[in-house]
Amino acid sequence: MFVVPAMSVEAQTFNGQGGLLIPPGAPAQTVGITQSPCTVSGVGTLGGCLQIANVTIDINHTFVGDVGILLIAPNGSFIDLTTGNGGGGDNWTNCVFSDQAGAFITTGFPPYTGTWRPEGRATTLNQPYSNANPLGTFTFANTFNGINADGVWNLYVNDYVFADVGIINSWSITFTDSGTPPPAFPASISACPGSNGLASFNLTTLNETVNGGTGLPVTYYLNSNATSPIGNPANFQAPASTTIYAVVMGSCPSAIVPITVTVTPASLPPGASVTIDPPTNCGPIQGTIVFNLGIPGPVNITYSISGSTTQNFSGTTNAAGTLTISYPLSETVTATLLTAVQPGGCSYSFPPISDQFVLQQGPTITFNGPNIFCEGQTLDLNTFVTSNGALTFHTGNPPTPGNQLSNPIVVLQNTTAYYAFAQAANGCTITAFVPLNVTPGVTPVLSPATICENSGAFNLVPLQNPAFPNGVWSGPGVTGTTFNPLGLVGTNTLTFTPSSGCALPATTTVTVVPSNTPMLSTTTICSAANPLNLTTLQDPAFPNGTWSGPGVSGNTFNPAGFSGPISLVFTPSQNCAGPATTQVVVQAGLQPVLGTVTLCNTDAPINLNTLADPTFPSSGVWTGPGVSGIFFNPANLTGPVALLFTPTGPGCFIGSFTIVQVNEGPIINLGQATICENAGLYDLGLLEDPNFPNGVWSGPGVIGGNFDPDGQTGVNTLTFTPNVACGGPVTTTIVVSPVPAPPVLGVAELCANATPFNLTALQDPNFPSGVWSGPGVIGSNLNPANLSGTITLTFASNQACVSPVTTTVQITPVVQPVLGSAEVCPGDPPLSLIPLQDPAFPVGTWSGPGVGGSFFNPTSLAGQITLVFTPQGVNCAVAASTIVEVTVPPAPLLASTTLCESGGTYNLGQLQDPGFPTGTWSGPGVTGNSFNPQGLPGINTLTFTPGTPCTASATTTITVSAPVTPSLATATVCSSDAPLNLASLLSPGTGAGLWSGPGVSGGQFAPAGLSGPVVLTFTPSGVCTAPATTTLTVTVTEAPVLATATLCQNSGPFNLSVLTPPGFSAGTWSGTGVTANQLDPGGLSGDIVLTFTPSGACALPGNTTITINASAPPSFTTQFSGTLCPGDCLEAAPSLTGEGPFNLIFEITGPLGSALDTLQIANSGATISICPFEYALGTGAYTLTALEISDANCQQPLNLPLGAFQTVAPMSVLSTTLCAGEELTVGNQTFNTANPSGTVTLTGASANGCDSLVQVSLSFFAPSTSQLNQTLCNGESLT
């Protein structure tokens, strides 16, 4: 049971004591502690959303770096706001500390103002304050969580350095309750260890699981009380499985939840094998590949088929650790297991483990020639069937010795089937049905026909059997496939001989009937006559047929619109009867021209002969509304009236219409009035008919358009004469009433909660009827509800000429208690209703379902129950009602779904009943409100327990399907190749999908403009499939850019490989003087063009020019040796021959590698300098080698050692321990506790004159302490 009270959230601020000196005895005292108290009440236990919002201080101090400021709770818990920050700066001016601030106080500068995060790392109240903990280790939230805030808080100000002082001007602490903590859910994550033995976890991937999909930030901690945050949650490393903790940060922090971190052991499986079943077969077969991994549970493997592209397969091994894959064995294949990866990411590599399937070659059977035969024909089956194996024939399948034919020559019957059986030398066999089409002898069935003698040539093909389309007709009247009936009346027998094999001749009959023509009658009619029945003109011998022609409709002819002879055709429906023609003569009719007239409906009848056509030769009859004989009466008619004159007598005449316009006399409706004698002039226009506003009034009291009632008491008859055609005078009456004395009303007093008051009690008995008006008045009742004070009401008597009068009613306001509401479950104990009462109404009676006295029993009740409280002892108080909600435990209706295993985390809120928005999910794969389908293929049953009281749990299912990832091949192409059909990279059986990536257009890959590895993605279009990637290597088609050379004729063979650029090491040189990769310049001169053809794919030949001079090649001689200090250089003056200037290419080799360089030498004997330190090859032994010397004419390859030398860097280490406060000076540097280590260079201090390096590393003894305990007498001292 719970009661719903009204609630408000607001901040509570409490002020501490101000005006306190720092230290307390300042200015004389400069070191000490000042504590300022602050009493807090009515806050309660901190935690969840009830937190310290901020602490605000206003403190003056002339050296803020000497001060530590801490906040101490009533239970002694404390947090450091700032300790020793700001150096010699002054003051904290309205400085606010808050957990939600963006920066720590340590990042600011005095005077401190604005909002800062507390320093939050001190573990002691007094100096020295340790900085070992990270900033923000301690916060208001985690330091004071769970303590009772009510009591005395202290601002603890510690001035621990002499000289400067200050004062606490003011300080305050503010608490807020910011609502409901956000939900937080436990989670788990796993990974395999890396090469360093540590597993890396990206904890941020758990955020949506931990915060339940709310998107709120999540902070991770190493300890269960959430005081040690994890600095980089995106790369948290752990050597072994552990538990960390998380907090969701909403408007206030959530509860602390555990996060399980699992380091998956990377133990290798005991062994693995591959087995293909079956190992061999005589033909293609759907087989299986069994991988025995020794790894139970879900696993992803890679394998290859006959060395082809690596393929992937994900599945779950059985209890024995084996995984079985169905595979079509259509050729000899070898399956090789490569790797296996478990869901945790741990992977295992195997040495090649393989098994082979061998496809045996079986015999073949071939059928020769056409296979259509007639029944009874003799056939040698050996001529129709051939094989490369031993062949026998059988009448059943499977073939057996019992159904084998002893003779392959057979007489064909369409009921006998034959089978060929062949066996190869390797034992493989094949059986095939012999496809013989044996047709029985049949006689086609022909159709008969009946035709007319005059119908012309008749096509005989429709009489044929469709199964026998070709053949020859014969008989009387037959020509080809037509029959001429002329002169062949009667029955004629015709013969059809089919041209197809195995078919017999057949006969049919064609009956020829003679033809007739009917004799038709004629007639003459008027054009105005009724339609003529044409059957009266037909030949009785031809009763049925079809009429056609002008005016014909069915069997009638309509003469309207025609004149003269009209030709009509009758086509008999009898066989072999021809159409006949007749004529109907149509005579035109005469029509009179009539006059018109306009009348009023009040006019006397008129003689219609006045409208007749005086020239018309015949008399006639008038008809129409108002017509009697030859007279028309307009009475009771209005508008246009159509009259018909129908001529009588012999001849063709046509009736004629005329229109008589009858105008209606106006109907004028005047109003009546009853007015008082003292009402003054009355406007008679108010009584006029608005359709007839013009006219003249007359009668007693009439003055123009007004009536004066004075002196006209009683009924007065007035006359109105309208100014309108056909209109006459009309009358009306005005009743004039005398004026009586006004009524006298009573007064009343009511409560606002009283029942409606009958106002007739206040009426004057002399005026019993009338209309009441005013606030709250309905009819003759006053409803005092919602009224108060003095209410003025008006009574208008229904008696004529009585003026309205007013009275007052005094209304006392209604009071009604304000009741609380409650929600209970059916099984809760009786609820006391007293807490729901308004304290201003302590006495009263409760009523309603389940009420007993002042208790409500929810047993057997459900839904919203309305209870009524009737107060007692309070004037004008009314009953009030409230709702007690009795919640019946409903079970939510959950949806179900089907997911893909690779679809990622699924938000279970999508399956919830909208009527149950909160609750807890449980079951496999559930974390908070999310379901992870990974590793859960099949049907998973989940349970949802609503968080709403009085509700029941419900279950649903999620079906998880394993995604299928296609296996893709790779390829290497040249950039100049034609587009590659990407379908060639798909494994057999892969369905449709979409390729994407650089160079992709539809299903083609164009390598032009690309180079290097190109990653393409294939996204299958099937359901629950996963995209796969492959890498295509694009090699740019290019010709090498070759170097050139200038040689002398007698330089000796030249190695051409030095001219090829990187990446073109292999290839073939060609040209004059070339042998393999050598050019012999002997006997050559001038420019020699050579060609280099690279041997790699996607490369074009390149050309270069070698210049050969007749000069002697240059030479170079010198030697280097000795020992060098760091930074020293070698110098020499080499001897050279040739024509300067010279270029020397040399190689320098040191402890850390080698380097190539080039020196320019002006002439022989010039000084050259080589500085080893420029090449950063380390300290130690060096060698120099001359590789090539060139002069102005040619270049000469060399491989000439130039000597060896050493570089030295004397180094010594000075490590010692000093007492605290001692110093050590080495060279020009001083080392102490502030500078305990470093490197010093002593110029020229080594024995060989080089600089000496000294590495200094000092340590310090801890200060020695002793304790002196001595007892002195009063007045003694100890120095």
Predicted local distance difference test score (pLDDT) of residue 914: 86
Structure token pair of residue 779? 């009819």
Q: What percentage of the chain reaches a pLDDT higher than 90?
A: 28
List CB contacts of 231: < 8 A, sequence separation 6 or more: 134
**Residue 917 to residue 546: CA distance in whole angstroms:** 81
Mean pLDDT, rounded, for 1042-1062: 82
Burial of 884 (0-12, 13-18, 19+ CB in 10 A): buried
The most confident of the ranges 77-81, 625-629, 1107-1111 is 77-81
Mean pLDDT, rounded, for 687-715: 89
Predicted local distance difference test score (pLDDT) of residue 8: 33
Mean pLDDT, rounded, for 1240-1255: 69
Q: Is the pLDDT of residue 179 over 80?
A: no
Mean pLDDT, rounded, for 589-612: 86
Q: Is the pLDDT of residue 1020 over 90?
A: no
**Residue 1116 to residue 1103: CA distance in whole angstroms:** 31
The predicted-structure confidence for 965-994, as pLDDT tens digits, reads as follows 888 899 888 888 889 998 888 888 788 889
Under 8 Å between Cβ of 370 and 435: no
Whole-number average pLDDT of the chain: 86
**Residue 190 to residue 261: CA distance in whole angstroms:** 6
Is the bond into 835 cis (omega within 30 degrees of 0)? no
**Residue 273 to residue 293: CA distance in whole angstroms:** 7
Q: Is the pLDDT of residue 89 over 90?
A: yes
**Which residue do the tokens 């609380």 mark?**
820
**Residue 408 to residue 387: CA distance in whole angstroms:** 14
List CB contacts of 953: < 8 A, sequence separation 6 or more: 891, 943, 944, 945, 946
What is the band of 265 on the pLDDT scale with cuts at 50, 70, 90? low
Q: Is the pLDDT of residue 931 over 90?
A: yes
Predicted local distance difference test score (pLDDT) of residue 778: 92
The Cβ-side half-sphere exposure at 143, using a 13 Å CA radius, reads: 25
Mean pLDDT, rounded, for 1128-1152: 85
What is the band of 438 on the pLDDT scale with cuts at 50, 70, 90? confident
Mean pLDDT, rounded, for 401-425: 88
The predicted-structure confidence for 1197-1232, as pLDDT tens digits, reads as follows 888 888 888 887 666 666 777 787 788 777 778 888
**What 3-state DSSP class applies to 1173?**
helix
Residue 91 φ/ψ, nearest 5 degrees: 75, 150
Longest dimension (CA), the chain: 177
**Which residue do the tokens 């309208």 mark?**
722
List CB contacts of 882: < 8 A, sequence separation 6 or more: 819, 820, 821, 836, 866, 867, 869
Of 1248 and 303, the one with more pLDDT: 303
Of the candidates 812, 758, 763, the residue with the CA atom closest to the CA atom of residue 785: 812
Is the bond into 134 cis (omega within 30 degrees of 0)? no
**Residue 590 to residue 616: CA distance in whole angstroms:** 9
What is the band of 384 on the pLDDT scale with cuts at 50, 70, 90? confident
Predicted local distance difference test score (pLDDT) of residue 5: 26
Under 8 Å between Cβ of 288 and 355: no
Structure token pair of residue 516? 């007739």
Predicted local distance difference test score (pLDDT) of residue 3: 26
Of 73 and 240, the one with more pLDDT: 73
Is this prediction's pTM over 0.85?
A: no
**Residue 247 to residue 236: CA distance in whole angstroms:** 16
Residue 804 φ/ψ, nearest 5 degrees: -60, 145
**Residue 1146 to residue 1186: CA distance in whole angstroms:** 4
Under 8 Å between Cβ of 708 and 683: no
Q: Concatenated DSSP letters for 317-368?
A: E-TTSEEEEEEEE-S-EEEEEEEEE-TTS-EEEEEEEEEEEEEPPPP-EEE-
The predicted-structure confidence for 990-1018, as pLDDT tens digits, reads as follows 888 898 889 888 889 998 888 889 899 98
Beta strands of 798-901 (E only): which ranges?
805-812, 822-824, 831-832, 844-847, 851-852, 855-856, 863-871, 880-886, 897-900
**Residue 732 to residue 719: CA distance in whole angstroms:** 7
What is the band of 270 on the pLDDT scale with cuts at 50, 70, 90? low
The most confident of the ranges 608-617, 717-726, 788-797 is 788-797
CATH code for the structural domain at 1115-1207: 2.60.40
Q: Is the pLDDT of residue 582 over 60?
A: yes
Find the DSSP H helices in 1090-1244.
Answer: none
**Residue 210 to residue 257: CA distance in whole angstroms:** 8
Q: Is 1230 left (phi over 0), alpha (psi -120 to 50) or beta?
A: beta
Q: Is the pLDDT of residue 1188 over 70?
A: yes
CATH class of 10-177: mainly beta
Q: Is the pLDDT of residue 124 over 90?
A: yes
Task: Using the Cα atoms of residue 1120, residue 1121, residue 1126 and residue 1128 in order, give the sign of their dihedral.
Answer: negative
Q: Are strands 1028-1035 and 971-974 parallel, antiparallel or unpaired?
A: parallel
What is the band of 4 on the pLDDT scale with cuts at 50, 70, 90? very low
Predicted local distance difference test score (pLDDT) of residue 807: 94
Q: What percentage of the chain reaches a pLDDT higher than 70?
A: 96
CATH code for the structural domain at 273-359: 2.60.40
Mean pLDDT, rounded, for 383-393: 90
**What 3-state DSSP class applies to 431?**
strand
Q: Is the pLDDT of residue 1274 over 90?
A: no
Q: Concatenated DSSP letters for 490-549?
A: EEEEEEEEE-STTB--EEEEEEEE--B------EEEETTSPPEEGGGGS-TT---EEEES
Q: Is the pLDDT of residue 1247 over 70?
A: no
